[in-house]
Copies of this chain bind each other. A is one copy, B any other.
Amino acid sequence: MSATATTTDIFPQGDKGPADYFTGTAWIKILVPKDETGSYSVGNVVFEPKTRNNWHTHPAGQILLITEGKGYYQERGQSARLLSKGDVVVIPSNVEHWHGAAKDSRFVHVVITNLKDGSAATWLEPVTDQDYDALPTR
């Protein structure tokens, strides 16, 4: 268990996110590995403060449902979008982006990840500390 896990969490914490494509500490719980049509998976991701995933793309898109905390979603070349509970992000296919927690808050979202030929994501380089530290906090 993480020291910051609380009883307000909806889903079990799950397993630690791989260091290969997270900076910081994230927890991933797979809720449905593949729906009956084979179109998507469903999971829950918890980001500890300052934690974010690498830049990446999805071959068929992904949907984020923010359930707790504060965080960011940023597409390459665009300003970061500040996110909080109740926000929904529809990530188009093949758009380079990252998401993760604010500097002073955990961040929790459900992910619906569309699958294409068995692939869910293509991982790229980490978001640098320089870029992350420069993000606006409001």
Q: Using CB atoms and an 8 Å cutoff, list the residues of chain A in contact with chain B.
A: 9-12, 31-32, 35-37, 39-40, 42, 60-61, 63, 65, 67, 85-86, 88, 90, 92-93, 110, 112, 114
Contacts and interface: CB of A to CB of B under 8 A. Distances in A.
Question: Copy number in this complex?
Answer: 2
A85 B10 CA distance: 6
Contacts of A92: 36
Given A86-B10, A86-B12, A37 B39 contact: yes
Contacts of A85: 10
A61 B10 CA distance: 23
B42 A40 contact: no
A37 B114 contact: yes
Nearest to A88: B31
A26 B93 CA distance: 34
Q: Which of A60, A93, A112 has the most CB of B within 10 A?
A: A112
B35 A114 contact: yes
Contact of A88 (B32, B60, B65): B32
